[in-house]
Structure 1
Amino acid sequence: MLSRVARFATGSPRVVIAVALLIMITCGGFGASVQSHLKFGGFLTTDAESAAAGRFIDDNFPGGNPNLVVLVHADGGVDGDAARAAGRRVLDTLSRHREVVGVQSYWTPVSPAFTASLRSKDSKSALVLGNIPGDETAAQIAGGTIESELNGTDENGVTVHAGGLPVSFSDIYGQTMHDTTRAEAIAIPVSLLVLILVFGSLVAASLPLAIGLFAMAAALGILRTLTLFTDISIYSMNMVSMLGLALAIDYSLLIVSRYREELGHGLETRSAIVRSIRTAGRTVVFSASTVACSLAALAVFPQYFLRSFAYAGVAVVIAAAAGAIVILPALLILLGDRVNSLDLRVLLLRRVGRVVSDPVPPQQSRWYRVVTAVMKRAAPVAIVVTAILLLLGAPFLGVRFGYPDDRTLPAQASARVVGDALRNDFDSRLASGAVIAVPGYQGSQPDIGAYAAGLSRTPGVAAVASSAGIYVNGSQAFVAPPGMAGPAGTFLSVRTNVDAYSSAGEDQLAALRAVPPPAPVRFGGNTAVNRDAMTAMGDRLPLAGTFIVLTSLLLLFLFTGSVLLPVKALLLNMLSLTATFGAMVWIFQDGHLAGVLGFTPTGSLNPAMPILMFCLAFGMSMDYEVFLLSRIREEWLASDRTPAANTHAVAMGIARTGRIYTSAAGLMALVIGATATSKVSFMILFGIGLSLAVIIDAVVIRTALGPALMRLMSTFNWWAPRPLARLHRQFGLDEAPGSDSGTPVVAPGGIVATPATS
């Protein structure tokens, strides 16, 4: 099939390129508006208990669960005329926004206890609270609008900053989009420069970027189409730009390198292209399949935030692979020998009085010598490398997960300013405590009072407000605030001094749940939201992991015909990822290198990032595994199938592909690592973590540990039970090096083999 595709593309190259441009323009034009149709949320499922509690309070007690916090700071004190005037301006602005309900402020007192809680310890800052009900997208849009209207310093020196969850996520989105644009501006020209160094030719180096642009445009069109049928997270846009460019570079690099190799063997242009697509192109198909299956596992999670990355990822993988297999041959046939034009390395070396040296035979290359040395010491290398990777992964045993708050933002961000003030300058965390909904409750006030009193005895609780009064340390301290009970039921608000996302916050939530309620209750608030999100993702993790494992094992079996090689690949991938995640815990959770990288450690990791990183890194690891195994298998099928032939095949496979997959990994790390220039901490984690995973896999696993294990396993690398061997002969890939015509060739040792893949 791939040969037919290649012959069609080389036979009608202008038609292929014209259709590709049409698709690119159509998808790009249709997808240009995708951003306005994407959603901002997707972190929670609508059936979570905390979501139900939030909806109950929003519907029946507007303002009972404030998520908008406005900080007014005046050096002259919050009771001065300047502060009061600024407070009135804030209230007037919020009154014009119909989406904001239940506004309360220090200057419009409800009760003495509540008023005191809205004033800072030094009396120089005060708060205005409100609630923006509705879905996350509407809340964040409104929060961003309110922030732009309120923030600033007036003529009296009074400063106003908006914060709270809607503003936090609005700031995170704005910062992320700004940082992504900057990262792309860095990654694309630097990638072109590195490709020029790899290929030498400016023309050849431009081909992967052209395929990358096609993949990104096509994926945007696919995403825009999906918005017609389901919710798509706006953060999936990052996946389209980053992965589209990285995979296009990977796949194009493999095919163009094989094409130039075939030209060097004396094949004419068309035959070299067909041969490259049938060999390297088939490797691309298997590689893209493994990456797509790894990303598709994200679709099992209930949060559309993660599902969106599955949709975006699979779309861009398909687009990148299709571009490399269909469009690239058409470009190559039109370019012909000109693919090597504009060799900038020649110009550069001439400036220093040197010339470009002839290619070194694989057996004389540095890769061959290094891998041969590794395999001569296979057991010690395997033991030492495994021990080092396990040591790097040890910190992951202490991992803690928590959803991001304003501390993911730089210190000057508005939401971060408000969050820092609440943590440091106020007695209780007004926007972080638990809210407890009691739907339909019409029982006695003494029962609610007893429940509130029990809750207020929980360690770390500053006060509990209920319709029966405000309780502190088990006793009623103030009369009840108005509006906490009604025909639909009642609710309680817990003021806490504990960080909602910390282990102490989880312990406090468990202690609050242990207090016997007078009726069935639903817990809401940040800690409950975090716990529900963890539970929802944790429940689906086994299913996602099983899907990834089974599909990877199946695809690698069909690719190699071996039972042991897929298992070895799976174990090595897990070992590599364990080391990466251990490093991420050490750096981002424990706070090492925080000053160097410019983030604030919170003692936990955003749970979505490790899941997303795992699926991406696992797919990329399989990507490089397929790259390498293709050439090793090609050498093996052309051999006499002895232990020495196995060792030689491994060395030759790495000698032929080492430069390719390490260059691809370096470019992948460059493209993804550019996101580490972000000012948002979880994006820094994502960029550094994924880049580190790619580098560990390409350098340590593929060049050291993998060859050592294949040397120790010897001919058992290629073993499969007879039933599975028959299955592979029927459905799998069972070819060896041959001519473009597909006729069998005689390999060394007199073994007859059929045409192979690379």
Structure 2
Amino acid sequence: MIATWILLLAVVGGLGATLNGKTSTQFTIPGVEAQEAQDLLKEKFPPAAGGVVRIVVAAPEGRTVTDPEQRKALDGVLREAATVEGVIDVTRPTEVGAVSSDRTIAYADVRFQNEAPEVTEEAKEELATAVEPLRDAGMQVELGGSAMLPQTEAGGPAELVGVVIAFVVLAVTLGSVVAAGLPLLTALLGVAVGVLGTMFVSGFVEMTGTATVLALMIGLAVGIDYALFVISRHREQLADPDTDWEESVARATATAGSAVVFAGATVVIALAALAITGIPFLTIMGLAGAVTVLIAVLVAISLLPAVLGVFGERMRPRHPRRKSKRANRTPGSWGLAWVRGVTRTPAVVLVAGVLGLLALALPAKDLRLGLPSYASQPESSTQHKSFDLLTEGFGPGFNATLITVVDTEGIPQNERQGTVTQLRGALVADKNVAAVSPPVAGPSGGVVVMAVMPKSSPDAEATTDLVHRMRDKAPEIADAGGTLYVTGQTAMAIDVADKLGDALPLFIGVIVLLALVLLAIAFRSVLVPLKAALGFLLSVGASLGASVWVFQEGHLNGLLDVAAVGPVTSFLPILLTGVLFGLAMDYEVFLVSRMREHYEHSKDPAEAIARGVSSSARVIVAAALIMVAVFGGFVFNEDPIVKAIGFSLAFGVFIDAFVVRMTLVPAAMALLGRRAWSMPRWLDRLLPDVDIEGARLPAPAGRAADPEAEEEAPRREPAARV
């Protein structure tokens, strides 16, 4: 089995390393207006659809960019830029009015034949080298434009710190350095297979760099957690000196491993359900994460037992417990003390917890969706500096320039100019428009393009309102026989946000319904799934509220190194809902399945809650801390999208594990009592009977001396405790 996994890693690694494709930095959705306009330009006005690298220059203090010496250096650099492969046009600042009013800042657009995502890294590096003479002349030079979106990367020091913290948590939880290393080892192998497989697939389908980082992030977190659940159960059983290690490996895989399969299936289904949004880049992102989680599950139930077999007796705790009359007593651990305190006044705990989570979710009522502009890039990056220079020289709306595209082929020839002129006048008169460029017709004359510069910044709500007002003029153009489009980076971000916002309610509805069905099957209950779904919604609301508070309202920006406030990443709510649903169901399954196991044995709901929490609290807390550490490491990634995803997932897992599952769930279960485990007979007959607690496992050798006693056992009798 170990050799099989190593061979699989070698094959997938070879394919991923040699046949990988280029990941995209663009988040586009086919069918939205901004993309339709880009497709039209690509077909009928190719130069206007090409990617742009914008060279932004600032003169030395006390000088201007139009000084002879500075202008001579700039002209020489622009001539050099025109020779870069793929460049079809280079503008001259003084010829096109691209000089600020005080003549200290100017820009030149280097336009490529290919669209922005297809501009090669070699061409951009060549341009970066070509502008060096300007720096030698004392000028500040920064690069922006549509073609300069940086690639999403992971694996920096912050992410490694998260892994180190995870190892420390594992060592403390398992009480062994060797045992702590196994989850990391198997998780890293599974993640390597998943991520390298994702890189291989990127050679055949368009994939964003965020998809690979998401696969790494989720695969690492769940891979460590799933291995932890199995190993902790194995070592718990080996604490009995009479337990054979081979039998223990099998039982750990049959009990904790079964829970891993069920929990992992919920994560896989939730991530794959992102496909129902109908948004290609989000579908690929969800499938990449789902496949990596699936590999983590397979590793936990195949590779991990094989590795445990290699270590054999060495996995047994050093100080095994002696069998005694008190062996079956509920352990007097901190988990037991915690659950006793929670269930002493369950109604008070439940109300206080729900009100607290609603308070955390309150900022989410002001949620605005968008895509990060260059202002969100690290302050040290050339993209952020170019954004600041352009804002300083030309106003905040310059970086939000919108492109108006008019298809005039359906308008009579003698009416085209009048229609376009009338539209331009209406745009100039808008209260939030700073300037409108003269109309530029394409080679055939059928497509006319105008650039509209707002007064507000790209992330401002006023800019979104302006886009909608511009599109409201489409019926007038349609009456004349033409078609009006509004596109550009800002318009594309607005369209993506609107599309994802429309898809969010449907996705949440599907996820909640999925939770109800899966948990009803798992626990033969109606109230447990309802409670779990409500808790999940509270966790998502609190995480979204915290994300709005930090990234949209600007709190903790210095601590988290957030370069600029702005709308929440447009696909974050859907992604957070899918991922957090799966992870929340993980904790729900592992916690409530232990309660169910004890309830089936004792039929005492209060005792089942106490023993269920006390026996699983240590592992669930450790698993949650590991996930928070892994996700938290990505908070310090330079990419603003990865930073937001890491923060929201880390915060969401923390809230869900410690507040919802470890606090509100025991309180709610205490209030429900026996009713928690009831189900109508017709529904019980309808649903499949899934034994994730290992209730039907035969008793360990020596524990069932009377075979007839086993035959007369109840239908869902739990496995004997070892």
Give the TM-score of the pair, scaled to structure 2: 0.90
Residue 737 of structure 1 contacts residue 745 of structure 1 at CA under 8 Å; is this kept in 2?
no
Structure 2 portions without partners, runs of 5+ = 321-325
> Which secondary structure state, in structure 2, belongs to the residue aligned with residue 754 of structure 1?
coil
Aligned residue identity for 2:653: V
Cα distance, 1:745–1:716 mapped onto 2, change above 3 Å: farther
CA distance in structure 1 between the partners assigned to 2:111 and 2:331 by the alignment: 70
Q: Which residue of 2 aligns with 1:11?
A: none
- The more displaced of 146-155 and 16-25 is 146-155
Matches within 5 A, 1:411-450: 411-427=379-395, 429-439=397-407, 440=409, 441=411, 442=413, 443-450=415-422
**1:187 pairs with 139, 143, 162, which one?**
162
Q: In angstroms, what is the RMSD of aligned CA positions?
A: 2.9
Cα distance, 1:757–1:587 mapped onto 2, change above 3 Å: farther
Cα distance, 1:324–1:85 mapped onto 2, change above 3 Å: same
**Structure 1 residue 123: deviation in Å?**
1.1
CA deviation profile, 1:448-505 (whole Å, cap 9, x unmatched): 21221111000121222234xxxxxxxxxxxxxx656743332222122222332100
Percent identity reads: 29
Q: Which residue of 1 aligns with 2:620?
A: 661
CA distance in structure 2 between the partners assigned to 1:255 and 1:745 by the alignment: 31
Residue 57 of structure 1 contacts residue 491 of structure 1 at CA under 8 Å; is this kept in 2?
no
> Which secondary structure state, in structure 1, belongs to the residue aligned with residue 370 of structure 2?
coil
> Which secondary structure state, in structure 2, belongs to the residue aligned with residue 603 of structure 1?
coil
**1:392 pairs with 345, 360, 366, which one?**
360
Residue 278 of structure 1 contacts residue 757 of structure 1 at CA under 8 Å; is this kept in 2?
no
Cα distance, 1:144–1:716 mapped onto 2, change above 3 Å: farther
Residue 33 of structure 1 contacts residue 224 of structure 1 at CA under 8 Å; is this kept in 2?
no
Residue 23 of structure 2 contacts residue 202 of structure 2 at CA under 8 Å; is this kept in 1?
no
**2:453 pairs with 469, 483, 495, which one?**
495
- The more displaced of 482-491 and 445-454 is 482-491
CA distance in structure 2 between the partners assigned to 1:102 and 1:359 by the alignment: 81
**Structure 1 residue 626: deviation in Å?**
0.8
**Structure 1 residue 445: deviation in Å?**
2.0
Q: Which residue of 1 aligns with 2:74?
A: 87
CA deviation profile, 1:81-136 (whole Å, cap 9, x unmatched): 232123223322331234333432213x1xxxx41xx1123311111023345445
**2:510 pairs with 536, 543, 547, which one?**
547
- The more displaced of 122-131 and 401-410 is 122-131
Q: Which residue of 1 aligns with 2:40?
A: 56
> Which secondary structure state, in structure 1, belongs to the residue aligned with residue 91 of structure 2?
strand
**Structure 1 residue 746: deviation in Å?**
7.2
Matches within 5 A, 1:291-690: 291-340=267-316, 362-427=330-395, 429-439=397-407, 440=409, 441=411, 442=413, 443-467=415-439, 483=441, 486-515=444-473, 516-517=476-477, 518=480, 519-639=482-602, 641=603, 645-690=604-649
Aligned residue identity for 1:242: M
CA distance in structure 1 between the partners assigned to 2:119 and 2:31 by the alignment: 19
Number of matched pairs: 697
Residue 399 of structure 2 contacts residue 458 of structure 2 at CA under 8 Å; is this kept in 1?
no
> Which secondary structure state, in structure 1, belongs to the residue aligned with residue 143 of structure 2?
strand
**Structure 1 residue 359: deviation in Å?**
11
**2:117 pairs with 131, 137, 140, which one?**
137
Residue 597 of structure 2 contacts residue 693 of structure 2 at CA under 8 Å; is this kept in 1?
no
Residue 504 of structure 2 contacts residue 573 of structure 2 at CA under 8 Å; is this kept in 1?
no
CA distance in structure 2 between the partners assigned to 1:103 and 1:703 by the alignment: 61
CA distance in structure 2 between the partners assigned to 1:216 and 1:204 by the alignment: 19
Give the TM-score of the pair, scaled to structure 1: 0.86
Residue 55 of structure 2 contacts residue 108 of structure 2 at CA under 8 Å; is this kept in 1?
yes
Cα distance, 1:43–1:200 mapped onto 2, change above 3 Å: same
Q: Which residue of 2 aligns with 1:474?
A: none
**Structure 1 residue 757: deviation in Å?**
11
Structure 1 residue 43 corresponds to structure 2 residue 1: no
CA distance in structure 2 between the partners assigned to 1:576 and 1:364 by the alignment: 30
Residue 400 of structure 2 contacts residue 454 of structure 2 at CA under 8 Å; is this kept in 1?
yes
Aligned residue identity for 1:649: A
> Which secondary structure state, in structure 1, belongs to the residue aligned with residue 369 of structure 2?
coil
Structure 1 portions without partners, runs of 5+ = 1-15, 347-357, 468-481
Q: Which residue of 2 aligns with 1:248?
A: 223
Cα distance, 1:490–1:505 mapped onto 2, change above 3 Å: same
> Which secondary structure state, in structure 1, belongs to the residue aligned with residue 421 of structure 2?
helix
Residue 580 of structure 2 contacts residue 649 of structure 2 at CA under 8 Å; is this kept in 1?
yes
